[in-house]
Amino acid sequence: MEVVLGVDLGTSAVKVSAVSREGKIVAQQSEAYSLNQPEPGYSEQNPEDWVTGTTAAIDRLIKVDGIKPDEITGISYSGQMHGLVLLDDHNQVLRPAILWNDTRTTEQCKEILDTMGQDFIDITRNVPLEGFTLPKLLWVKENEPELFNNVSVFLLPKDYLRYRMTGKIAMEYSDAAGTVMLDEENKTWSTKIADAFDLPQTIFPPLIESIGFAGTIGDTYAKFSGLKTTTKIYGGAADNAAGAIGAGILSSNQVLSSIGTSGVVLKYEDNADVDYKGALHFFNHAIPNKFYTMGVTLAAGYSLSWFKKTFSADQDFTEFVNAAGDSTVGANGLLFTPYIVGERTPYPDGDARGSFIGIDGTHNKADFTRAVLEGIVFSFKDIMRIFAEKGSDFDTVVSIGGGAKSPLWLQIQADVFNKKVVTLKNEQGPGLGAAMIAAVGVGWFNSLSDCAQKFVAYDQIYVPDSGNIKKYEKMYQLYKQVYGQTAEISHGLMDYRRNLEK
């Protein structure tokens, strides 16, 4: 038996999947690690934890699941995006990695726009946000100058892990795009950005394709892990790009609807011609010379879990969601906006806050639950509306995550989006995408599209109900007005809370 390994390096754990030529996951192991928050808004990890966690998971695949090292022909990666790893001239880690969910860099984001303005958005196709890598690099430069002077190269999490396994420094394009230092259309590091912020060109790593050959297992790591030095390693992808591949989002008629703690709407883009002017994230895809667009709802599944924990903690989760079916389309005239931790797309506003609008004495818990389900989907439609405004159309939504586990919620998506919604038979997300990259790299398939035909299979199909479409369109027109009418109140309330805490 031959297998490839897909290494999914997440924020809280790493999961390693062994996948056969038939696309079957024959074994899977994971290892958790800790998140450090030394100050409010800070989020850091020790990069060594990623290495030891991955090695422990691989070791169990070999010793517990019986995967033989010489059966592992290739390895690739999916990685948490944006995290800043700094190495000295001996490739030793200089400080804990600053992660994607670290929010200390508000001033640096402002500095980037004040310095470069629209030029920055034109080059990177993105507005600078606290989560991205460049603001973190500037924060270190400004707050830890002596340490910054010792920086030889910066990497992202999965690229550092790959370096430790191969001994070779590189960064692949889909993750490099999320640093907001890449000229995305020309696929080069932007010298204009580097010069604007006095960043040495020497600290930028070499770039490779996601399916590009990155080396083989190095001698040191082979002794450490038990893997063979003949095992081939491939670039890998940012977690959202890998997740899109694992969901079969490989053509421009498809959009991914992913409801996790946060929510992601992701669309494949065939070229760089479409320009969303920074309203959406625009990144290089794992497929060579292709791109993807992405919008984010910060509190998608989190809104639902918050509501359940607060008002229905003892109820079974499936029963809790299904009870929303006792309400009606439009939740009997009740609207919910899921801005309970702020929002990103289309409103990049950390002080936005959620609301229930239209409450009266006839509403019951089923109405509130349904309003939450519908409000999350309305927030996704806000993102899809930006596609439509740019003339970028699609006909199929692939739903994954929590939103794909409820027939009711899936039908709500189909009706609100007015699109066909499909689910996956074997939803494995970024880890499967990483394995698919390795499968193409070792030559099992000629392309990721060919691989998807074997590895990705659709399951249930939900089509829009013509009567519900019209009802939801009326509710959505009202939903669109809520942010503009409540933003000033939200900001005032947040100021009030901050003053109370002082």
What would the two tokens of residue 64 be?
Answer: 């517990």
**69 Cβ contact list (under 8 Å, min separation 6):** 62, 226, 227, 228, 231
What would the two tokens of residue 494 be?
Answer: 């947040």
CA distance 344 to 149: 33
* 91, 158, 173, 236 from 213: Cα distances, Å: 21, 15, 13, 10
Q: Which contiguous run of DSSP H or E holds residue 310? A: helix 301-311
8 Å CB contact between 254 and 266: no
8 Å CB contact between 459 and 425: yes
SS3 content of the chain, % helix, strand, coil (to 5): 40, 20, 35
What would the two tokens of residue 75 be?
Answer: 């390895």
What would the two tokens of residue 402 be?
Answer: 């929590």
Nearest C-alpha neighbor of 429 from the set 9, 2, 3: 9
What would the two tokens of residue 161 be?
Answer: 């892990």
**457 Cβ contact list (under 8 Å, min separation 6):** 424, 425, 426
**Residue owning tokens 């969901």:** 247
What would the two tokens of residue 345 be?
Answer: 């797309």
Nearest C-alpha neighbor of 228 from the set 68, 78, 76, 431: 68
Q: Is 239 a catalytic residue?
A: yes
What would the two tokens of residue 137 be?
Answer: 């690099």
* 93, 132, 498, 502 from 135: Cα distances, Å: 19, 6, 25, 28
The backbone region for 342, taken as left when phi is positive above 0, alpha when psi lies in -120 to 50, beta otherwise, is: left
What would the two tokens of residue 61 be?
Answer: 């695949």
* Backbone dihedral angles phi then psi of residue 345, each to the nearest 5 degrees: -120, 130
- Please give the full DSSP string across 389-458, using - where no structure is assigned: HTT---SEEEEEEGGGS-HHHHHHHHHHHTSEEEEESS--THHHHHHHHHHHHTTSSSSHHHHHHHH--E
Task: List, in sequence order, every beta strand (DSSP E) within 80-197.
Answer: 85-87, 97-98, 153-155, 171-172, 182-183, 188-189
Catalytic residue from among 102, 239, 367, 415 = 239
What would the two tokens of residue 237 be?
Answer: 């992808």
Q: Which contiguous run of DSSP H or E holds residue 61? A: helix 47-63
Give the active site residues.
239
